[in-house]
Every structure is written in structure tokens, then in C-alpha cells.
A = this chain, B = another copy of it.
């Protein structure tokens, strides 16, 4: 596939794991582990296309209000995803509230950007992330022009394209500051049903969007 114009930074909202499990007669909690492999496939495609930065929505502080059998499974799936990525090439950063005991211990070292293999593509993973936690904690009165330096996710750049699987047309608290100008593409299929064509279609659509940054 050739593209005239690619997004520099893509945000991924991999929604629909629980609905996918239920549709197969499985427990909701069993859906998450089927969402791991698609993430690796997507990473590989971004690498080949030369995408500079990619951000995955792991789980949020909102999500942790779900039944504990589910929170256990999605935390496990996040750890497995991150550990898998750590065996590939890239520069990984985990952003999320690590003060909470719901933040997986194994992932703490990666809350500073860490280079793996040949480095290159920036991979951000939101783990126990909260939009309020993000945009207010470090923010100081009157600092609006420097605001992006003070938010918790300040090492994550502005997002060009957000792709959401699972049909919902909303951000669900995904990086409000970096998303203000992002183009938003929704795929009705559920995340475990990831197909390469869905991603290419999103990139084809993005090619035809103008970029105004609100101007």
C-alpha cells in the first residue's frame, strides 16, 4: 500500500473485547486476551509504514470500577501486550497513575520512555489513565500557553488520527489535550476481529482530510 500523506501520530481505541466474547458464548472477561495479538499486528503495520508515534488505550481509572474478574483480565492483557512490545523495536512509554495499586507493578519501569531493540517508533501505552488526572494534576494557574508542558501526558504529542474499533463514536476520556484537533475514524467491527484492511481504509480516509488545526 502506498499513501500520499500519513498521520505522524495515531491513537488506537481497541474497544469491543467484551462484546466479542459474549457473542461467542464466553465470559466477558475472556475477551481481553483476544485483543493482544491484533495490537502486535497493528504495531508491525505502523513500523512498516514508517508511522512515527502510536498510542494505545490500555485501561483507564474509569474502567477499574468494573467487576474485579474483568479488571484482573484487562490488567493481565496490558502487561502481556507491553512485554511483547518490549521484545520488538521501539521507544515505549507508559502513561498512567502509578500511585494506585491497580497499576501493574511489572510496568512501573516503563513510565520513563525506554528504548527497545533498534528503537525508532514511539509507542505510548495508557495504563490506569484518567483524563482528570492527566490534565489537571500538573497544571498551574495562568499557564495556558505552556499547558502541554504541565500535563501528566506531556511526553505524548498531538494526535493526527484516532481509530476506534467497536462502533462507539466517542473518545471515552482518551487524551483530551492531544485529541483536540485529531480526525476520528470509527470501525464498527470489534477489536478482536481486527483486519489489516480496516487500518488501511482508515489511512486512505485520512489522506483526504484537510488539516487546519482549528484555523
Contact in complex: B171, A179 (CB < 8 Å):
yes
| New A-B contacts (20) at CB < 8 Å, excluding given A135-B139, A176-B179, A184-B184 | A60-B214, A62-B215, A66-B215, A131-B180, A132-B147, A135-B135, A136-B139, A136-B142, A136-B144, A137-B144, A139-B140, A139-B141, A169-B183, A169-B184, A169-B185, A170-B183, A172-B212, A173-B181, A173-B214, A176-B177
Interface size on A, residues (CB 8 A): 42
- Which 7 pairs, one residue from A and one from B, show the smallest C-beta to C-beta distance? A62-B214, A176-B176, A136-B144, A136-B147, A139-B139, A132-B144, A173-B180
A213 at the interface (CB under 8 A from B): yes
List of B residues within 8 angstroms of A172 by Cβ: 180-181, 212, 214
A2 at the interface (CB under 8 A from B): no
Q: Closest chain B residue to A214 by CB distance?
A: B62
Contact in complex: A168, B209 (CB < 8 Å):
yes
Chain A to chain B contacts (Cβ below 8 Å), 29 pairs = A60-B214, A62-B213, A62-B214, A62-B215, A130-B144, A132-B144, A132-B145, A132-B147, A133-B144, A135-B139, A135-B147, A135-B177, A136-B139, A136-B147, A137-B144, A139-B140, A139-B141, A168-B183, A168-B209, A169-B209, A170-B182, A171-B179, A171-B180, A171-B181, A172-B181, A173-B181, A173-B214, A176-B179, A184-B184
